[in-house]
Amino acid sequence: MDQPIDGGATAVARAHSNIALVKYWGKRDATLNTPAVGSISVTLDALYTDTRVTFVPGLAADEFWLAGCRGPVTRISHVLDLVRGHAAGLGLPAAGHSAIVSSTNNFPTGAGLASSASGFAALAVAAAGAAGLSLPARELSILARHGSGSAARSIFGGFAEMHAGTAADGSDAYAEELLDREEWPLTVVVAITEHGEKSINSTIGMNESKATSPFYPAWLDSADDDLDEMRAAIRDRDFARLGELSEYNCLKLHALMLTTRPALIYWNAATVAAMHAVRALRAQGLPAYFTIDAGPQVKVLCLPGDAAAVQQALALVPGVHEARISALGPAAYRLE
């Protein structure tokens, strides 16, 4: 976060990562980055990205710095271009300026801990702020979606639902809050089984699933049922139903990944061992349920009073480096 400011307009934002309970995999429109299915997630307090955006007069091109190292700028510039477009409509100076974007994550990047979700949500809030725009949360969610589909949900805290939408321009593909985190304070224990970068990123993986898996049509057909049931479980604060459905939807996603050609195998041995450990806890009467994204980490949903026991059980699983407890997190916000 030491880049030159040069009198440009700056804003800093923090956005928290999220974990989908009903997952997004597959795009309706790749250019607009609209999802083929809706999704429901919880935002995580313990994992976040801080991003500073500065529009700099005279800067030749956008720059992206992640933890002090230069990073790829294509998706970032795409989001910045949309912000510049909004700014141009209002005659704001940021419309004509390139930007310096500096980010830090407080967790490993690119290993299935949703750094793109928190990253693009923080970028949307910081870029809009630096440009002098005051956009409603729905617009910020759409902006974040252009960077990464899951980021649309990280604009919100607690429980969020992303709508797949049907509009040709993507204007109804946004997330909104379903429930504030105070209204149902669940806990997620994150078991980290690997610190390295994952092999196939989500964007490529989901396009391959769409193109090759015979399960893809069934994935699309069954999504609305899962969304309806998850909304009902959240409305009724029915933890067993939420947990069972989360595991089911997660395993359905991984069945789709496994039947993609070439196969997307995101699990390692510790991932599988952690899944069995969670099922063993449940057999002993402790309600805990796993979910896994496009990476080897295992996220375990539980009630706050059981978090320490779940953490202890996961820490004993061979190959689990660390088990981190997280409460549900807040919406993305400006840090100044």
User: Treating both helix axes as pointing N-terminal to C-terminal, what angle do 137-147 and 115-131 enclose, rounded to 10 degrees?
Assistant: 120
Q: Which is nearer to ligand DP6, 44 or 128 (CB)?
A: 44
Unique residue bearing structure tokens 């909004």: 86
CB 120 within 8 A of CB 79: yes
Nearer to ligand DP6 among residue 8 and residue 38 (C-beta): 38
Quick one: which H or E segment has residue 255? Answer: helix 239-258
CA nearest 334: which of 124, 46, 159?
124
User: Shortest Cβ distance from residue 136 to ligand DP6 (Å)?
Assistant: 22
CA distance 148 to 202: 10
Binding ligand DP6 by CB under 6 A: which of 115, 202, 291, 297?
A: 202
206 φ/ψ angles, rounded to the nearest 5 degrees: -70, -30
Q: For residue 196, give both structure tokens.
A: 């390295």
Per CB under 6 A, the segment of 144-152, 174-182, 279-287, 307-315 that binds ligand DP6 is: 144-152
Residue 261 beta carbon to ligand DP6: minimum distance, rounded to whole angstroms: 18
Tokens of 207: 């396009």
Judge contact between 144 and 123, C-beta under 8 A. yes
Quick note: the x/- pattern for ligand DP6 over 232-271, rule CB under 6 A, is ----------------------------------------
Least separation, in Å, of the C-beta of 254 and ligand DP6?
Answer: 9
Contact 140, 109 (CB under 8 A): no
How many whole angstroms separate alpha carbon 28 and alpha carbon 207?
10
Q: Should residue 294 be labelled a site residue for ligand DP6 when binding is judged by CB under 6 A? A: yes
Pick 49 or 116: Cβ nearer ligand DP6 = 116
**Cα 212 to Cα 307: distance, rounded to the nearest angstrom:** 39
Q: How far is the CB of 333 from ligand DP6 (least distance, A)?
A: 21
Residue 91, amino acid: G
Q: Strand 39-56 relative to strand 34-35: parallel, antiparallel, unpaired? A: unpaired
Give 37's Cβ-side CA count (13 Å radius): 25
Among 109, 203, 222, 268, the residue binding ligand DP6 under the rule CB under 6 A is: 203
Minimal distance in Å, beta carbon 176 to ligand DP6? 15
Which residues, numbered 150-169, are part of the site for ligand DP6 (CB under 6 A)? 150
Number of residues that bind ligand DP6 (CB under 6 A): 14
Q: Report yes or no: 256 and 265 within 8 Å, Cβ to Cβ.
A: no
Q: Tell which one of 256, 291, 293, 331 touches ligand DP6 (CB under 6 A).
A: 293
Closest to ligand DP6 by CB, 3 or 222: 222
CB 122 within 8 A of CB 129: no
Binding span for ligand DP6 by CB under 6 A among 17-25, 62-70, 298-306, 322-330: 17-25
Site residues for ligand DP6, 31-50, by CB under 6 A, read: 33, 39
CB of 316 to ligand DP6, least distance (A): 27
Token pair 């970068």 is at which residue? 197
Q: Which is nearer to ligand DP6, 87 or 151 (CB)?
A: 151
Which of 34, 49, 116, 118 is in the footprint of ligand DP6 by CB under 6 A? 116
Q: Which residues bind ligand DP6 (CB under 6 A)?
A: 20, 23-25, 33, 39, 116, 148-150, 202-203, 293-294
